[in-house]
Structure 1
């Protein structure tokens, strides 16, 4: 099933199919609406980091990395990326597509000069890709979540060195 999977940047013609994919994968529209809202945010949205997986030209996976900030106790903002959401069609899950999307996202993010990624996600899944609890760097979520599901990864050596504080998500995250 996954031999024909192609990973590429999302195109405008993919938007409706990506919305449907997120709806099916999450069983609700919140994540799909979040992707639509973030695409409009000229500051947070990075077109190169909205990535799809296709099988015979059918979109079976999608991942989005958006610009976020880490605000320290002095009010300084440090740029990072937030991985959210990632969706794979149920019948394609557990085939490695999510991992392909994450690795491609990391590759593109590094090329664009990003040094780190933050994710709120499954404690047993994301560490496979190098994510560690964000509190290792004294980075906190802006809401109450267990520290083992709020994780970070350095894309560059010392990408989070001397960076600590609270993550500031784009306002679109508050609307879903």
Structure 2
């Protein structure tokens, strides 16, 4: 069956939150609150409606979800808008079928179409490079908390977008609520 990736609908919010809860239930490094984070982000200034995407088959059951929200790279008085990829979720029974990859590729493409020039992610260093992510320290971009350098990554959606950018990433306040 073909995978359909489209903008999340308000009528799907509860189903998406349950999917996220299930997707992270067995994750060792999760605090099990990713579904609550998504709920908070939907009501934030960082939320970009067009970058909250679901993956379904033709039966309309939501199998996966991805969210990109606005973040900022700040160095003193200089600030540069970017996007934060967090979280990407696939229902446990559908993991390993390429749904997460399809969501990531679709979200990066849509973000570029919307005029965004870069995305940052905190994730598995063996997984995200296949989409073009590189360690953010390549551009002297740092996380606002202690993380392994190889797990904090960025991608330029527009070549050279991060060439003159450096600093610390500032996520939406909802990330720390």
Q: TM-score, normalised by structure 1?
A: 0.95
Matches within 5 A, 1:1-150: 3-27=1-25, 29-41=32-44, 43-55=45-57, 56-72=59-75, 74-150=76-152
Whether the 8 Å contact between 1:65 and 1:82 is mirrored in structure 2 is yes
TM-superposed CA distance for 1:161, in Å, is 1.2
Counterpart of 2:119 in 1: which secondary structure?
Answer: strand
- Is there any run of 5+ residues in structure 1 with no aligned partner, and where? none
Which stretch of structure 1 is more off in the superposition, 21-30 or 49-58?
21-30
CA RMSD of aligned residues (A): 0.9
Q: TM-score, normalised by structure 2?
A: 0.94
Runs in 1 of length 4+ with deviation above 6 angstroms?
Answer: none
Counterpart of 1:25 in 2: which secondary structure?
Answer: helix
TM-superposed CA distance for 1:134, in Å, is 0.2
Q: Take 1:22 and 1:29, find their aligned partners in 2: how far apart are those partners?
A: 9
TM-superposed CA distance for 1:29, in Å, is 4.4
TM-superposed CA distance for 1:147, in Å, is 0.4
TM-superposed CA distance for 1:117, in Å, is 0.2
Number of equivalenced pairs = 171
Counterpart of 2:77 in 1: which secondary structure?
Answer: coil
- Is there any run of 5+ residues in structure 2 with no aligned partner, and where? 26-30
